[in-house]
Amino acid sequence: MDEKYFPEQIEERWQKTWEESGTFEVERDPEREKRFYCLEMLPYPSGFLHMGHVRNYSIGDALSWFRRLQGYNVLHPMGWDSFGQPAEQAAIKRGVMPREWTEQNITHMRAQFKRMGFSFDWRREIAAHTPEYYQWDQWFFLKMLERGLAYKKVSPVNWCPAESTVLSNEQSSGGVCWRCGAAVEKRDIEQWFLRITDYAEQLLADMREIEGGWPERVLTMQRNWIGRSEGAYIDFQVKDTDERVRVFTTRIDTIYGATAVVVAPDHPLVEHSPLKDDLRRFAERVRAASAVAREPGAEVEKEGINTGLLAVNPFSGELIPVWAGNYVLTEYGTGAVMSVPAHDERDFEFAQKYSLPIRRVIERISHDQPPAERDPEVEDQSVAMNEAFTESGILVSSGDWSGKLSADAIREMAEFAQSQGFGEGAVTYRLRDWGISRQRFWGAPIPIIYCERCGVVPVPESDLPVLLPERAEFTGSGQSPLAGVPEFVNTTCPKCDGPARRETDTMDTFIDSSWYFFRYIDPRNPEAPFDREKAAYWTPVDQYVGGVEHAVMHLLYTRFWTKFMRDIGLVNFGEPVKRLMTQGMVVAETFFREGEDAGSKVYINPADVDVVRDEKGRISSATLVKDGQPVTVGPFEKMSKSSNNGVDPNEMITAYGADATRLFILFAAPVENDLRWQESGIDGTLRFLRRIYSFVYRWRGSLAGAAREAGAAGEFSAEARALRHETHRTIERVTNDFEGLRYNTAVAALMELLNELYDFKAQAGSASASDLFAVREAVEALVLMLAPFAPHVAEELWEALGHVGGILGSGARWPEFDRALARKDEVEIAVQVNGKLRGRVNVPASATEDETRAAALADERVRAWTEGKQIIKTV
RNA sequence: GCCGGGGUGGCGAAAUCGGUAGACGCAACGGACUUAAAAUCCGUUGGCCGUAAGGCCGUGCGGGUUCGAGUCCCGCCCCCGGUACCA
C-alpha cells in the first residue's frame, strides 16, 4: 500500500488478480440454493463505451457484488448484440466487411469493459454474429414454423427509406424509424411474420406475475401497445350487392344512432361503388398524406367521400349511406366503422362537416325522471348537441332495446346479433404480428429454401446453421446483398434434390436479443440452445437493468419468446425477468455557436469550453478555450454525437480512475433519474476515496492487532459506543438501500460513516483496545460496503487491513447489523407546541410517554410557550 | 386528448409509517497550511427581521383534514416521458 491513492496502479493490479484467479467465474451448483442472475442489456458493439453503458453496467455490477457478498452464487454475464445495421453501413461507406468491423469493435470494447473492472464471467461471453449463436435463432424459427407461428405473407409493411429496410410495427412506433428517426413509408412486400398476436392475451394476463417488479410505466406502455379492445363485429348488408360490410364497435348499444357506415379509403367494398374512380384517387391522396411524418398531437382534417352505396342497419332495418373516410384505418379492426355522430367524437366531427344526421340514442342516467323518448320525426339532434355524448347511459329511441343500460345492452345486443347470424362479440388488439424479414446481409439468414417443384421448404435442422457468406456487394439498394451472392442463393431442395434458391432476407436482430440471456447459462452447448437443468437453476433473471427505450420492443419480444420456449418445453415459466430496472439517461450541458446557415448550430464539446460561474454557481457565460470568444450555453441533452456533448469514459478513467467514475455515476442521482454529468461532481467522489484510503493507511498498523471480538475489547467509552451505533445504523441503511437499488443514498450513508470516523477523537497509535475495536468494526464494514461501488480500492484496503486472498476469496461476508446497536439509546425529541417547533430534549429511547412529557415540559423554551396554559397533547 | 412519472436551496438530491424539511455531495464564500499554486484540513451557506437571544416565512398554486402535512383529500397550473383519428 502506497501512502497516496494511485487508482491506476491499484486498478490494474486487481483486474489482473481477478482474471488470474477466476474470481467472477461461476458454475451451476445445485447445493447452493441461494443463486442470483443479474443481467444488463447487452450492448451493440459500436466500438466505443459511452457513459450510458458505464451507468448501465455499474448498476448491475454493484448489485452483483452485493449478492456475492451475501453468499449468493451470482451469474453476471456479458455478450454482444453484434448483428445489425451499423456494420453494414460501415461496409457500404468504407468497404470494410461487417464481420471484420464488428470483431474489431468487440475487441476494443471488451478491453474498455475490463478497464472498468466489471465483474463479468467472461468465459460465458457470446456474440450474436457467430454461427454457434445464430444457428439457434434459425432453430427457433424452424420450431415456430412447425407450430404454425411463423408464416409468410404480402402485406403493407413499414419501410425506412433512409436505411432501405423493413421495420416491425414496434420499431416504427410513432411513424418514425426507431434507429434513425426517418419517416416510415408503407410498402407492399412479402415477408415472414411471427404470430406474437397469438400470445396477446397471455402477454396481458401474465403482467400480474411481474407487477411490482417492473416499472409501472413499462407495463402501461406494453398494455397500451397490445391495445386490447372488447366489442362486437356487426355485418351490414350492402343494398343491391351480395356484399356485407363488417364493422367493429365497442359501443353496439349506440347502433340505433348509426347514420352512416364509414370504410377506409382502400376498403375492398369501394370496388362496388359507382364512383370507384373518384374513390381510387381519394385513396391515393390519403395514402400520400399519411406517408408524411406528422407532429405528435397534430390532427388531420377529416375528409370523406360518399360511395353512393347504401347499407342496412341489421338492428333497425334502416338504410344508411356508406362513406369512405380518411379517419378509418385499414389496419385496425375491420377497416370499417358504423358512424354514430351523437356518441363518438370523430363521427360527430365528420357528420358536422358533411351534414350527416346526428341522432341521440343514449341518455345520462337520471334518478329524478325517466329518459325522454325522442320524437322519431324530429330525431336529428344536429342543433341540440354541440358535442358528442360519449359516456354510457340508458338507451332511448332504440326500438325494443330502449330503457336498457349501456352495459347490459352491449352484452345482450352482441348475443342477439350472433343468434341472428349478423354479428358476434369480439376482442381486437392493436398488436400486429411481428414482421422479421430484413433486406440485410448482417443478420441470421432465414432458414428457408424455395424449390420450383416443392415450394417453400424449411432447411432441415441437421443442416443448420445456414452460414452467412464471408463477402458480398454492399450497394445499399434495398435488396438484400445476399441475393447477389450466387453460391449462397443457389442450392438444392432438401426434399427433391432439385435446383432451388435460398431465402435472401435475414432475421430482425431483435430475435437475437429475445433469448440471449438463456444462452449465457450454457454458452458452448452444440446440441441445444441451452440445457434445461441449467436453465432451471439459473433462470428466470432476478434483476434486469437497461434503458426504457426497449419497453415495447425487446422487452415485449423477450416475453413472447419465453412463452414460446415454455410451450416447447425448454423452460417451465412464461416470464423471463422478475425485476426490471430502467435507468435514466446520462445528460450533459451543450455549447454551440450559430452556424453558417441561419438557424443551424455548431455544437462544441464541453471539454473545449471554459465556463464562468456567478457566486451562486450558475453558469453565467462560456468561452471557447481555443479563441477565447463566447459560446452559447444550451440545455442539458442526452450525451450524443449530434450534440457533441459526450464524455469519453476512457478519459475519465485516466483522470480519476474506474472506481471514482463508477462511484460518481451511482451517487449523483437515483438510478431511474436522468443523470447530469458534471465533472466537478466526480472530484467529490475521488475526494471520498482518497479520504477513506488515507484513513486506512494511518490506522492499519494499530488495527492489525485490534481485538476481533467485542468481549475482548472490554468496556466501551461513550464515543466508541456512538461510533458503533453509527456503524450498525449505516449497515442497516445501506443494506436496505441495496434491496431497493437506492445507490445514491447508500453512498451518502458511507460518506457519513467516514465523516464519523474522521470525527472520532481517538488517534491511531494511542487508542484503547475498545476504541480500536470500534474503529476496526467501522472500517471493515465500510470497506466491504464500498466494494460494490469501488471494487479495486476496496480490495486494496481489505488487504491492507490484513486479509489474504481478496475480498471474495477471503470468505468475507456482507456485514450484519446488530439491531440493538443500530437503535439509539438516547433520542432527541423535537417538542412542538401548537404544531410549532419550540424545543428539543434528549430522553432515553426506553422512556415512557409520561417521562418524555415531563422532560419536554421541563425544557425552558417549551415552558415559555406553555406558561399559564392548559395542555392537551400527544407524542 | 389519454396514460405514466414529476415539481423541495445556486445545482444533483434526502426525508422508507403524517412527527426536527434540506442528510450526503457539488458549487460558492471565509480561514489554516504553503514563497506560491495544487492537494489537504477547519468553518459558513433556504429567505427575511434582529447587535444578540430569538422570531417570522418556506417543499408549484388555491382550499381542506389533523395537535402536527413535502407526505393524506379536493380543485388547478407547469414540466418530462409514452401514445393516439384504435372505432
Measuring from the CA of residue A668 to each C1', which nucleotide is nearest?
B12
- Please give the pLDDT value at position A371: 58
State which residues between 414 and 433 of chain A bring their CB within 7 Å of strand B: 430
- Please give the pLDDT value at position A199: 94
- Please give the pLDDT value at position A92: 84
Half-sphere exposure of A343 (CA within 13 A, CB side): 27
Q: Which residue has the higher pLDDT, A340 or A679?
A: A340
Bases in strand B with any atom closer than 7 Å to a protein CB:
1, 3-5, 10-16, 19-21, 23-29, 39-42, 54-57, 67-69, 81-87
Q: How far is the CA of A314 from the C1' of B80 (A)?
A: 48
State which residues between 372 and 411 of chain A bring their CB within 7 Å of strand B: none
Residue nearest to nucleotide B85 (CA to C1'): A327
d(C-alpha A415, C-alpha A587), whole Å: 56
- Please give the pLDDT value at position A596: 72
Cell numbers linked to A57: 453496467
State which residues between 687 and 716 of chain A bring their CB within 7 Å of strand B: 687-688, 690-691
**Is any atom of nucleic acid chain B found less than 7 Å from the CB of residue A618?**
yes
- Please give the pLDDT value at position A451: 94
Sequence letter at residue A856: A
Share of chain A above pLDDT 70, in %: 89
> Which band of pLDDT confidence, cut at 50, 70 and 90, is reported for residue A875?
very low
> Which band of pLDDT confidence, cut at 50, 70 and 90, is reported for residue A35?
very high
- Give me the mean pLDDT over the A671-682 stretch: 88
- Please give the pLDDT value at position A369: 59
| DSSP structural state of residue A405 | B
Sequence letter at residue A24: F
How does the average pLDDT of chain A come out, rounded?
Answer: 88
Kindly report which listed range (A79-93, A441-455, A732-746, A762-776) carries the lowest average pLDDT score: A762-776
Q: Is the model's pLDDT at A828 over the cut of 60? A: no
Each residue's pLDDT tens digit, A185-238: 878 888 999 999 999 999 999 998 998 889 888 998 899 889 898 999 999 999
| Strands A73-75 and A35-40, sheet pairing | parallel
Q: Is the model's pLDDT at A824 over the cut of 80? A: no
Assembly ipTM: 0.93
d(C-alpha A507, C-alpha A487), whole Å: 20
Measuring from the CA of residue A686 to each C1', which nucleotide is nearest?
B25
A276 Cβ neighbours under 8 A, 6+ residues apart? A270
Measuring from the CA of residue A229 to each C1', which nucleotide is nearest?
B86
Q: In which order are the strands placed within the sheet that holds A73-75?
A: A73-75, A35-40, A541-547, A577-583
- Please give the pLDDT value at position A859: 61
Q: What are phi and psi of A502, to 5 degrees?
A: -85, 150
> Which band of pLDDT confidence, cut at 50, 70 and 90, is reported for residue A158?
confident
d(C-alpha A504, C-alpha A478), whole Å: 12
| Coil, helix or strand at residue A526 | coil
- Please give the pLDDT value at position A330: 86
d(C-alpha A387, C-alpha A140), whole Å: 52
d(C-alpha A235, C-alpha A246), whole Å: 4
- Please give the pLDDT value at position A490: 95
Q: How far is the CA of A623 from the C1' of B15 (A)?
A: 39
- Please give the pLDDT value at position A343: 92
Sequence letter at residue A166: V
- Please give the pLDDT value at position A870: 46
Rounded-to-10 torsion of CA A54, A55, A58, A63: -160
Q: How far is the CA of A217 from the C1' of B5 (A)?
A: 8
**Is any atom of nucleic acid chain B found less than 7 Å from the CB of residue A680?**
yes
Kindly report which listed range (A125-139, A203-217, A790-804) carries the lowest average pLDDT score: A203-217
**Is any atom of nucleic acid chain B found less than 7 Å from the CB of residue A226?**
no
The pTM is what? 0.91
d(C-alpha A322, C-alpha A314), whole Å: 14
Cα–Cα distances in angstroms (integers) from residue A332 to residues A201, A248, A327, A427, A605, in the given order: 17, 9, 11, 12, 46
Radius of gyration of chain A (CA): 34
**Is any atom of nucleic acid chain B found less than 7 Å from the CB of residue A752?**
yes
- Please give the pLDDT value at position A373: 58
Strand partners, A547: A583
**Is any atom of nucleic acid chain B found less than 7 Å from the CB of residue A206?**
no
> Which band of pLDDT confidence, cut at 50, 70 and 90, is reported for residue A500?
very high
Of A617-626, A631-640, A825-834, the range with the highest mean pLDDT is: A631-640
Q: How far is the CA of A827 from the C1' of B66 (A)?
A: 25
Q: How far is the CA of A778 from the C1' of B61 (A)?
A: 47
Each residue's pLDDT tens digit, A366-390: 665 555 555 554 556 666 778 888 8
Each residue's pLDDT tens digit, A248-297: 999 999 999 999 999 999 899 988 999 989 999 999 888 877 766 555 55
Measuring from the CA of residue A219 to each C1', which nucleotide is nearest?
B4
Place of cell 471539454: A607
Sequential DSSP letters for A139-186: HHHHHHHHTT-EEEEEEEEEEETTTTEEE-TGGGGGGB-TTT-PBPEE
Share of chain A above pLDDT 90, in %: 60
On the 0-12 / 13-18 / 19+ scale of CB atoms within 10 A, A46 is middle
H or E segment to which residue A655 belongs:
helix A649-656
Each residue's pLDDT tens digit, A700-754: 888 887 888 888 888 888 888 889 999 999 999 999 999 999 999 999 999 999 9
- Please give the pLDDT value at position A871: 46
| Coil, helix or strand at residue A199 | helix
State which residues between 834 and 873 of chain A bring their CB within 7 Å of strand B: 834-838, 840, 861, 872-873
Measuring from the CA of residue A733 to each C1', which nucleotide is nearest?
B16
- Give me the mean pLDDT over the A95-112 stretch: 95
H-assigned helices in A501-569: 512-519, 532-538, 554-567
> Which band of pLDDT confidence, cut at 50, 70 and 90, is reported for residue A615?
low
- Please give the pLDDT value at position A778: 94
| Coil, helix or strand at residue A114 | helix
Residue nearest to nucleotide B1 (CA to C1'): A297
Q: How far is the CA of A638 from the C1' of B5 (A)?
A: 19
d(C-alpha A103, C-alpha A211), whole Å: 39
| Coil, helix or strand at residue A71 | coil
> Which band of pLDDT confidence, cut at 50, 70 and 90, is reported for residue A512?
very high
Q: Is the model's pLDDT at A670 over the cut of 50? A: yes
| Coil, helix or strand at residue A355 | coil
Each residue's pLDDT tens digit, A391-420: 888 999 999 999 999 989 999 999 999 999
d(C-alpha A175, C-alpha A171), whole Å: 9
Q: How far is the CA of A838 from the C1' of B26 (A)?
A: 33
Are A513 and A444 spatial neighbours (Cβ–Cβ below 8 Å)? no
Angle, alpha carbons A744-A747-A748 (nearest 5°): 85
> Which band of pLDDT confidence, cut at 50, 70 and 90, is reported for residue A844?
low
Question: Which among A528, A529, A524 is positioned nearest to A512, based on CA atoms?
Answer: A529
Strand partners, A833: A836
